[in-house]
Amino acid sequence: MSKTKVSIKDIAQKAGVSTALVSYVLNGKEKESRVGQEIAIKIRQIAAELNYQPSHLAKSLRSGKTHTIGLIIADISNPFFANIARVVEDEAKRNGYTVIIGSSDENADKSRDLLTVLINRQVDGFIIVSSENSDQQIQDLKDRNIPFVLLDRYFPEIPTDYVSTDHYKASYDAGTHLITNKYKRIGMIAYDSHLFHMKERIRGYQDSLRDNNVDCQNNWLKQVKINAIENGVRTSIDEMLAIDQPVDAILFATYSLAVSGLKYINKLLLKVPDDLAIVSFGQAEVFELYYCPITYLKQPIVLLGQTAVDLLVKKITNNLDEHAQILMKAELIVRASSKTKQSQIT
């Protein structure tokens, strides 16, 4: 079998028509070009027989579009972002787009490099999970009128399109759940971050305590550096347990923090939930292996990814000026790690 790429000219010769006529048919313009139905069917049959593959480069040159999307995620090793990437790929393919994926590894410099590379590759638009200190990069994209949608993380001071979980409401619900289940000294371990979504998770936790008449203590909230998770979590738990009235529950602001926390809690020979109730923002597969099923906040991963792609495609094809800003509800999956606390015998 010949490996020579089949061209429109080859189809035209076999069909006995002009190359222009073949082009009209293969580009779906036979009606407006008044090509007869019989000849259009014949051209398509010949194209299929010859296994004709259209030139995407030529099509891109004609349309000015590459039908590619740049997806920049914060950390490809994080299951949440890996699952988001899969959803984005599938939804983009359904819309006729190919996705080029890059991971910033929570690093603003790497994020900037990825943006530069993908802009030079002439992607039609971006879906971005922002890293710390990348707000200027987002402003630059906006100033250059490059289509993009922010996913999961956004900057409220910059008017942009975004699709995100309602981080405040999710964290608020988690705190309220623990209070309802009779826990009175609820700690939180979060990242030390300026990113808005993390600030919202902390704010939701604090407001849930305040609104339920729980006097929130400053030493109940701990913030750890993202590049020193294990040591930060260990120190935080030690400090929470060393105070006069140690915490009886912990809300972990991410699944990574929860996994590190559970490892250390096991090392301390503490029992969940008898000694410490646990709620995690986000799910980890290892939760399924833990002796006590872990309560967690489930983010709508599929809906987040699909909505981000659909929104970006609309921006690319219709040049929309108005910003769509969408918040989605996380579901609290209640399991044994936060079951109602048994009354203490005094």
In sequence order, which residues have a C-beta less than 8 Å from that of residue 177 and are 6 or more positions away?
A: 279, 295, 332, 334, 338
Return averaged pLDDT per consecutive 10 residues of the chain, 346 residues in all: 68 83 73 72 84 61 73 91 95 94 95 95 95 95 95 96 98 98 97 96 97 91 94 97 95 95 96 96 82 94 97 88 92 96 56
DSSP percent split of the chain into helix, strand, coil, nearest 5: 45, 15, 40
Contact predicate 135/111, CB 8 Å: no
Q: Which domains does the chain have, with CATH numbers?
A: 8-54 (1.10.260.40), 66-165+301-328 (3.40.50.2300), 167-299+332-338 (3.40.50.2300)
pLDDT at 2: 44
- Pinpoint the alpha helices (H) of 2-107: 8-15, 19-26, 37-49, 56-63, 79-94
Q: How far apart are CA 321 and CA 161, in angstroms?
A: 10
In sequence order, which residues have a C-beta less than 8 Å from that of residue 1 and are 6 or more positions away?
A: none
Backbone Cα Rg of the chain: 27
pLDDT at 9: 83
pLDDT at 29: 66
> Model pTM?
0.81
Which residue from 132, 152, 130 is spatially nearest to 142, judged by alpha carbons? Answer: 130
30 - beta bridge partners? none
> Residue-wise over 232-256: b if at least 16 C-beta within 10 A, else e?
bbbebbeebeeeeeebbbbbbbbbb
Q: How far apart are CA 64 and CA 121, in angstroms?
A: 13
pLDDT at 283: 82
